[in-house]
Amino acid sequence: MRRKRWRIKDIAKKAGVSTATVSRVLNGDPHVREETRLKVLKIVEEFKYVPNYMARSLRMERSSFIGIIIPRDSDSALTFPYFNIFLREFAHRAKERNYHVVFTTSEGDDMKTYEYFIGRRFVDGFVILDVVDGDERIKFLSGMDIPFLVIGRPQGLDGYTYVDSDNEGGAYEAVRFLIKLGHRRIFFINGPKTHSVSRQRLEGYKRALKNFGMEFEESLILNGDFKYDSGYTLTKEILKKFGKIEAIFYASDEMAIGGMKALEEKGLKAGKDVSVIGFDDIPLARSTTPPLTTVSQPINEIAKKAADIMMDILNGIEVHSIVFPTKLVVRNSTIAGGSA
Amino acid sequence: MRRKRWRIKDIAKKAGVSTATVSRVLNGDPHVREETRLKVLKIVEEFKYVPNYMARSLRMERSSFIGIIIPRDSDSALTFPYFNIFLREFAHRAKERNYHVVFTTSEGDDMKTYEYFIGRRFVDGFVILDVVDGDERIKFLSGMDIPFLVIGRPQGLDGYTYVDSDNEGGAYEAVRFLIKLGHRRIFFINGPKTHSVSRQRLEGYKRALKNFGMEFEESLILNGDFKYDSGYTLTKEILKKFGKIEAIFYASDEMAIGGMKALEEKGLKAGKDVSVIGFDDIPLARSTTPPLTTVSQPINEIAKKAADIMMDILNGIEVHSIVFPTKLVVRNSTIAGGSA
DNA sequence: CTGAAAGCGCTTACAG
DNA sequence: CTGAAAGCGCTTACAG
């Protein structure tokens, strides 16, 4: 049977104080005599009183909820490879500070969903994932003066706060590693052109080439969708068109794994005949044959920091965007290249 | 700049009616004159009035939020292989009926988190995932008379509503298929013993054996944790201990894929030297070498139905537990077995 | 340091 | 069919 729900009024009466005092104690107001505080706390404890947050939210005009909305169509949710982990760590960190995550999907019309959530006061602000350059959601939320935080660093927009990892630097390191290995023709199977991470990774790729005096060749760049299948298909395409291949850099581990399968079907082995590098360092990357060299992002830290910044934004604390370093994790999927 | 927020009072005044009438119109109360209804709706439209749900929730004493709590430690979230998809489809369906999902993690003390959420009136009820036999959360929520829905069918508990897929039947079909292929010694790498799905799948395995007059051998059963690594490790173990192997049934695709790698390292190929069947039909299962024969569950339907039942529970509508059929998806990871 | 009272923005029994 | 008014359970300016 459900216990009786105590209201602040009940607790006040039992403690022999006003509701105002109970409220002050519960909210850590320092202007309460220690003796009073203890007395109230004792009753709160005894009756296991928990305040009703619906009432609190109404009065304080904030819900302490943060919205995370992902598109329902396709598997876009998963374009962000760490979505699971991000969501979990973000929610965990937010909870530590008494904020919580409301999760939903949008069906095509993103703006409507954002408006719906903010209009009804479901949430105080949003985290925006899986961003593209010139992202409409960012324009919309900026225009409406609704608090939000962007995961990623899209172009063609300004005045937004972001948390990002150093995609450019990660790609640079990967390609640099391949060049050092002696490779001269390095394919790059990137993500969709629209995604800002794709642009950033391409920039890293180009910078590495330039740094080592190599020419950029458009024909070596292909765009997949981060998924296994596109890695497989595009690698087949390359194999068919170019015949001999020495190195491929993939913008996701999933694509790299798909690519390794395509190679295998041609009797080629990553780490033996071809150099392969991925991006993300998903758990599976440790366990592929061969274990995959890849670029890792500190997803837990990103999620935690994102939560902290989001909450600071909601509390009017000044925030700064931040970029987390990426790291090349060297395993066994590359080989020394023949000299040019 | 943010638009002015209209309150029901503003709308009432503009429409020349009382707030009660506006409320009635907005909530579809039939006892409103059509003319009045239209007049109110026009103003609502014009000013894009959206009610404040914090106020509504306080007054109606329900939040229209549903809580989904997953343990933060380990990767338990992913023990349920479809968590991403489940969450997305569940949230989508709930949204269609004006319910929303609050997501959080728990750190060891589950009950505290559930109590926290219900005590503050964050949510009206919970969906419980990743259940074990005798699950403490179910006992707790039942005891507190808090509404909840279980995904899965744990034993040692009663009086709860569930949505489940036919794990027993799925395992039965898989093992039956292997037996028909001529296999007589069928290894089964199951999930953790504590999980109710593991028990169910083991029952299916046993029933198939019995049906075909085969002896059950305890030594052929191993327990992994549904993850890639455990499939790999346990398969190595079997290989070492038993030498020749003809068929392995895995309780998850991830474990099957790990297992195939272990086989490969011994020069054995699934679909050529050994029969392998997985469970779940994850997207990757289509793309492995060879494509994996596996048992699929209708996860989208499960999520949708779960949302419907959850909302019915919250609205006091009578509900019935439901079990969804599973289906054996035959691909190329099995071979005909030598006769016994 | 503490309390009485107003008010956050809704819904709904009650009365007409 | 409609409105005046109470009340959901908090927090906080105001006064002392």
Write out the DSSP string of B307-319. Answer: HHHHHHHHTT---
Q: Collect all residues with Cβ–Cβ distance below 8 Å to A128 and sequence separation of at least 6.
A: A135, A137, A138, A141, A148, A149, A150, A151
> If pLDDT is split at 50, 70 and 90, which confidence band does A5 have?
confident
Q: How many CB atoms lie within 10 A of CB B7?
A: 15
Question: Cβ B70–A55 below 8 Å, yes or no?
Answer: no
Q: How far is CA A243 from CA A46, A178, A255, B218, B246, in A?
A: 76, 19, 19, 52, 38
The yes-or-no verdict on residue A57 having pLDDT over 50 is yes
Taking the C1' atom of every nucleotide in all shown strands and the CA of B11, the nearest one is C9
The pLDDT mean for chain A works out to: 92
Helix/strand/coil (H, E, C) string of B251-288?
A: CCHHHHHHHHHHHHHCCCCECCCEEEEEEECCHHHHCC
Q: What is the reported pLDDT for B81?
A: 56
- Please state, in angstroms and rounded to a whole number, the distance separating the CA atoms of residues B330 and B340: 23
The yes-or-no verdict on residue A213 having pLDDT over 80 is yes
Q: Collect all residues with Cβ–Cβ distance below 8 Å to B68 and sequence separation of at least 6.
A: B87, B90, B101, B102, B103, B104, B126, B127, B129
Write out the DSSP string of B203-246. Answer: HHHHHHHHHTTPPP-GGGEEE--SSHHHHHHHHHHHHHHHS---
Which of A259, A251, A256 is CA-nearest to residue A233? A259
A229-239 per-position pLDDT tens digit: 899 999 999 99
Residue A66 near residue A100 (C-beta atoms within 8 A): yes
A293-335 per-position pLDDT tens digit: 999 999 999 999 999 999 999 999 999 999 999 999 999 999 9
Could you tell me which residues are beta bridge partners of residue B153? Answer: none
A86-102 per-position pLDDT tens digit: 999 999 999 999 999 99
Q: Which two tokens stand for residue B44?
A: 């609502």
- Identify all chain B residues contacting A1, using CB atoms and an 8 Å cutoff: 145
- Please state, in angstroms and rounded to a whole number, the distance separating the CA atoms of residues B257 and B253: 6
- Identify all chain B residues contacting A65, using CB atoms and an 8 Å cutoff: 102
Q: What is the reported pLDDT for A245?
A: 92
Q: Which domains does chain A have, with CATH numbers?
A: 8-49 (1.10.260.40), 65-165+299-324 (3.40.50.2300), 167-298 (3.40.50.2300)
Amino acid identity of residue B44, one-letter, is V
Question: Cβ A100–B77 below 8 Å, yes or no?
Answer: no
Q: Collect all residues with Cβ–Cβ distance below 8 Å to B113 and sequence separation of at least 6.
A: B69, B104, B105, B106, B107
Q: What is the mean pLDDT of residues A257-263?
A: 92
Q: Which residue is closest to C4 in terms of CA–C1' distance?
A: A18
The residue with tokens 């007049």 is B39
Strand C protein footprint, C-beta under 7 A: A 16-21, 24, 30-33, 35-37, 55, 58-59, 61; B 5-9, 19-20, 22-24, 26-27, 51-52, 55-56, 58-60
Q: Which of A130, A142, A287 to mutate to test the interface with B (most CBs of B within 10 A)?
A: A287
Distance B219 CA to C9 C1' (A): 66
Q: What is the mean pLDDT of residues A285-292?
A: 87
Taking the C1' atom of every nucleotide in all shown strands and the CA of B61, the nearest one is D8
The yes-or-no verdict on residue A339 having pLDDT over 70 is no
Question: Cβ A65–B102 below 8 Å, yes or no?
Answer: yes
Q: What is the reported pLDDT for B142?
A: 93
Q: How far is CA A252 from CA A219, B81, B253, B264, in A?
A: 19, 21, 21, 25
- Identify all chain A residues contacting B120, using CB atoms and an 8 Å cutoff: 50-53
- Please state, in angstroms and rounded to a whole number, the distance separating the CA atoms of residues B314 and B332: 45
Q: What is the reported pLDDT for A244?
A: 86
Q: How far is CA A136 from CA A154, A267, A279, in A?
A: 11, 45, 27
A118-128 per-position pLDDT tens digit: 999 999 999 99
Residue A252 near residue A81 (C-beta atoms within 8 A): yes
Q: Which residue is closest to C12 in terms of CA–C1' distance?
A: B20
Helix, strand, coil proportions of chain A in percent (round to 5)? 45, 15, 35
Q: Which residue is closest to C9 in terms of CA–C1' distance?
A: B55
Q: How far is A304 from chain B (nearest CA, A)?
A: 13
Residue B237 near residue B222 (C-beta atoms within 8 A): yes
Question: Cβ B52–A261 below 8 Å, yes or no?
Answer: no
Question: Cβ A58–B65 below 8 Å, yes or no?
Answer: no
User: Does residue B145 come out as left (phi exceeding 0), alpha (psi in the -120 to 50 range) or beta?
Assistant: left
* Helix (H), strand (E) counts: chain B: 12, 12
- Facing residue for B50 by CB, picked from A2, A120, A284: A120
- Please state, in angstroms and rounded to a whole number, the distance separating the CA atoms of residues A298 and B156: 41
Nucleotides of C under 7 A from a protein CB: 1-5, 7-13
Angle at B113 between CA B112 and CA B118, to 5 degrees: 100
The yes-or-no verdict on residue A4 having pLDDT over 80 is no
Q: How many CB pairs under 8 A join A and B?
A: 117
The yes-or-no verdict on residue A340 having pLDDT over 50 is no
The residue with tokens 């995961």 is A151
- Please state, in angstroms and rounded to a whole number, the distance separating the CA atoms of residues A120 and A117: 6
- Facing residue for A55 by CB, picked from B1, B58, B119: B58
Q: Which residue is closest to C2 in terms of CA–C1' distance?
A: A21
How many alpha carbons fall within 13 Å on the CB side of residue B258?
27
Low pLDDT (below 50) residues in chain B: 1, 77, 339-340
Using only C-alpha atoms, chain A has a radius of gyration, in whole angstroms, of 26
The yes-or-no verdict on residue A80 having pLDDT over 70 is no
Strands A221-223 and A247-250: unpaired
Q: How far is B69 from chain A (nearest CA, A)?
A: 10
